[in-house]
């Protein structure tokens, strides 16, 4: 909590205090939900679910607030730990079927879309006296950092961000103005990462080991560079030209060529991709990256007892998402090579915010 004082050092009025209250992701990773209260305004930042829990247990502690008093809800990006509870929250006052296991139906999800407004990056908006605009956050496509201004006080909420540029994604922008308060994710705060090239070299070293079979990936996330660069390696090792660089000098030409090719050929027939002739040895990228459910979880449980198999974990995994207490002992090889799309220390140093609030991280990492 950051606060101000009146003239002569007298205690400030309650509405003059900037109150920052984590309803989730205070000293944990998951269910990000941060409440700001200042000058009578109440802003919610993200509303995710915890990947290690299900149903109502996965929700942020929104029962601590009056939902009707929230003036503005800003969602940084589409990942479930930042946006997964949004349909439930938007419709929580309506009659729905929330149970211990089901938070909302597909119909609820569709109905919630009518209450969501999208904005462009750098587009300044003002709602009930609260100004805000968004910066590119890197991390995943569409991820945003929000600068919020209330009565001249600027608060930057980073959400998940990365200053590491990728082939499909620009790096997080550094705002031109210094915020008074910065709320920053911190679950990799005490860790320094290798360069992307070093990360890729490590992956290729593991790929050369016969026991490697699969690695989990985040949907639209960190499995993509692993898979893409593995494919590129087969071109570069034989000194073959990169077809994208040769054929696509600009994006307009790309669309023109694709339009022409669709007329005469099937765009989903890839000449460099072929079907497996056997399943004795193969590599597979699958989501979700935390392996809490879905295909990656099912494959892990099927393969983990065979020492001929292996897994590369390419990002952060929340405690409690693997095997959920099952007694199976993994015998496969496990490699952790982080393709983190998260925090950058230099970004924090550059902005030099007078107040920094750490969220979305474990206590040990926050102290690092």
d(C-alpha 116, C-alpha 89), whole Å: 12
Distant-in-sequence, close-in-space partners of 176: CB < 8 Å, separation ≥ 6: none
CB proximity list for 359: less than 8 A, separation 6 or greater: 22, 25, 26, 32, 34, 183, 184, 185, 186
Residue of 101, 84, 102, 99 lying closest to 30 (CA atoms):
84
Q: E-assigned strands of the chain? A: 19-24, 33-38, 41-45, 72-74, 125-127, 130-136, 144-150, 153-157, 181-185, 214-216, 284-286, 310-313, 333-336, 355-359
281 is known as an active-site residue: no
Greatest distance between any 2 Cα atoms in the chain: 80
How far apart are the two ends of the chain, measured CA to CA in Å? 21
Catalytic residue among 50, 79, 342, 360: 342
DSSP of 126-153: EETTEEEEEEE--SSTT-EEEEEEETTE
* Residue reference for tokens 């007078």: 354
d(CA 220, CA 218): 6
Distance CA 91, CA 112 (A): 7
Q: For residues 116 and 144, what is the distance between their CA atoms, to the nearest angstrom?
A: 15
Query: How far is 256 from 262, CA to CA, in rounded Å?
Result: 10
What's the rounded Cα separation, in Å, for the pair 24 and 34?
Answer: 7
Q: Catalytic residue numbers? A: 342
């Amino acid at each position: 909590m950051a606060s101000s004082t009146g003239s002569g050092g007298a205690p400030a009025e309650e509405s003059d205090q900037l109150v920052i209250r984590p309803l989730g992701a205070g000293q944990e990773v998951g269910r990000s939900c941060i409440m700001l209260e200042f000058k009578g305004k109440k802003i919610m930042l993200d509303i995710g679910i915890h990947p290690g829990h299900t149903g109502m247990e996965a929700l942020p502690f929104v029962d601590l607030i009056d939902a009707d008093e929230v003036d503005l809800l800003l969602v940084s990006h589409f990942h479930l730990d930042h946006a997964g509870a949004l349909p439930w929250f938007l419709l929580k006052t309506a009659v729905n079927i929330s149970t211990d296991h089901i938070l909302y139906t597909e119909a609820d999800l569709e109905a919630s879309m009518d209450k969501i407004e999208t904005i462009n990056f750098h587009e300044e908006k003002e709602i009930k006296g609260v100004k805000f605009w968004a910066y590119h956050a890197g991390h995943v496509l569409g991820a945003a950092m929000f600068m919020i201004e209330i009565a001249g006080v600027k608060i930057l909420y980073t959400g998940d961000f990365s200053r590491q540029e990728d082939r499909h994604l620009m790096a997080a922008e550094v705002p031109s103005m210094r915020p008074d308060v910065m709320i920053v994710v911190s679950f990799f705060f005490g860790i320094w990462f290798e360069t992307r090239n070093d990360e890729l070299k490590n992956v290729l070293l593991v790929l050369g080991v016969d026991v490697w079979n699969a690695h989990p990936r985040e949907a639209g996330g960190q499995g993509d560079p692993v898979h893409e660069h593995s494919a590129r390696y087969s071109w570069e090792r034989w000194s073959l030209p990169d077809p994208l660089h040769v054929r696509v000098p600009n994006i307009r030409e790309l669309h023109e060529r694709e339009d022409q090719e669709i007329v005469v050929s099937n765009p989903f027939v890839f000449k460099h991709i072929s079907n497996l002739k056997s399943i004795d040895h193969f590599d597979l990228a699958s989501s979700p990256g935390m392996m809490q459910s879905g295909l990656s979880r099912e494959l892990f449980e099927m393969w983990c007892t065979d020492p001929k198999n292996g897994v590369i974990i390419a990002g952060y995994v929340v405690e409690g998402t693997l095997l959920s207490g099952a007694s199976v002992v993994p015998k496969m090889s496990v490699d952790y090579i982080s393709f983190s799309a998260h925090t950058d220390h230099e970004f924090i140093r550059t902005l030099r915010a007078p107040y920094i609030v750490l969220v979305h991280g474990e206590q040990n990492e926050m102290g690092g």
